[in-house]
Structure formats: C-alpha cells, structure tokens
C-alpha cells in the first residue's frame, strides 16, 4: 500500500514504473489499483498507447481503473478497463455500487453541506448498469497462454456477495477487486477489505 498520490500524471508514472519490474517474469495479467488512471483513454490516445506498450513489454494484458469524465456520455465514472498489446480491448466495467458520501452525496440538495466539512464527493460519480466478465489474453501471441475469464469489482463492491456470485455464474474464473486504500490505510479498514476478499473467494469456490 502506497500513500495517496494526488496527481493523475504521478499516479500513471508510478504504475508504469511498478509494471516494468514485471518484465521477464511472465505474468498472466497485470492489475492496477482503483483510480490508477485519471484520464478517459478515448480522450487520451497517448495514454492508451503508453499502457499498450507496457502490455507488450511485460507480455500480459493490463487491467487499469479509470476515474475520469467519459467522452461518450455525461459524468464521471470509475471504470475497470482492459488494455492489451494493441490498446484497449473493448472490455469495460463501470462501477455500479458507489460509496455514499465518498463517491456521491445521497439527497445532495439536503446533504450537500457535507462537502465543506470533510472529503465528501464534490461531484457525484455515475453508476454503471451491468456487470462484465472480461476475457484476457485475446491479443497475446499464440502459445503464451489461453487467457482468463475475469470478473472485476471496484473496492466497496467486494462487500456485496451477490455481485461475486453473479460474476462466477456468468463464467468468471478469477474475481478481482481494484481498490485504493491510502486514505484509510492506518485504520482497521484495509484488513477488513482483505478479509472480505477471502470470504467472497470461499463463497464462490
């Protein structure tokens, strides 16, 4: 767990540096943390190309997490996006269950004052409308693996057993929870978050 890095450019540079350490180690998939990319990849093809180059360098797809305003619809989404050696694969999951106050303000017209006394969301994130099972390795050269069927969750969503069950029922072989815990890493919360992942794994087999 690393301390939070505020700048989107700094976060991206940090993820790139960490990913490069995997070159030559034959990973099946590289997973970046929640909010690791602060740009919509459709708006920033230069960033998409950088991540695709990393995918080629390490020989595996990279599952990033984009926290940005989308170019194709209004609002900010938190999205798991799969990037292969040729760029984004088209697999995208938009977070469905948002953290109250952290990612949206319930009844904002009444409770919007919360943004002035803490770290409450200044602008509500938008919700996704469906879960997605992604297939990795489709662009990896033949003989380097058959890929995995991956079911992404984003942070808080690992607390909900129905989401993991649905992904498993839809064919996911691996459940992944992308998380950013730097804002509460010195509390009980990271340990609870890790234990929730273990419970979801036990429930789904």
Decide if 155 is catalytic.
Answer: yes
CA distances from 38 to 6, 23, 32, 63, 113 (A): 10, 24, 12, 14, 26
How remote is the C-alpha of 74 from its chain's centroid?
Answer: 20
Decide if 119 is catalytic.
Answer: no
Tell me how far apart the alpha carbons of residues 122 and 115 are, in angstroms, rounded to a whole number. Answer: 6
Give the active site residue among 15, 34, 103, 157: 34
Give the active site residue among 78, 103, 155, 157: 155
Give the active site residue among 15, 95, 103, 157: 95
Nearest to 55 by CA among 159, 111, 139: 139
Decide if 34 is catalytic.
Answer: yes
Can you point out the beta strands (E) in 26-148? Answer: 29-31, 61-69, 76-84, 87-94, 134-135
User: Which amino acids are annotated catalytic?
Assistant: 34, 95, 155
């Amino acid at each position: 767990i690393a301390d939070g890095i505020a700048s989107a450019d700094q976060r991206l540079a940090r993820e790139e540096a960490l990913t490069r350490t995997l070159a030559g180690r034959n990973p099946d998939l590289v997973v970046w943390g929640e909010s690791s990319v602060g740009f919509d990849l459709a708006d920033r093809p230069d960033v998409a190309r950088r991540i695709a180059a990393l995918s080629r360098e390490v020989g595996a797809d990279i599952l990033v997490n984009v926290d940005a305003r989308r170019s194709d619809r209004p609002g900010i989404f938190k999205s798991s996006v799969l990037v292969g050696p040729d760029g984004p694969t088209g697999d995208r999951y938009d977070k469905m269950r948002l953290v109250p106050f952290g990612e949206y303000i319930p009844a904002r017209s009444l409770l919007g004052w919360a943004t002035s006394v803490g770290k409450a969301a200044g602008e509500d994130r938008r919700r996704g409308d469906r879960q997605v099972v992604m297939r990795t390795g489709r662009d990896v050269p033949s003989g380097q693996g058959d890929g995995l069927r991956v079911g992404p969750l984003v942070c808080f969503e690992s607390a909900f057993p129905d989401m993991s069950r649905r992904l498993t029922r839809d064919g996911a072989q691996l459940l992944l929870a992308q998380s950013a815990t730097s804002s509460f890493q010195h509390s009980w919360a990271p340990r609870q978050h890790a234990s929730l992942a273990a419970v979801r794994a036990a429930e789904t087999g």
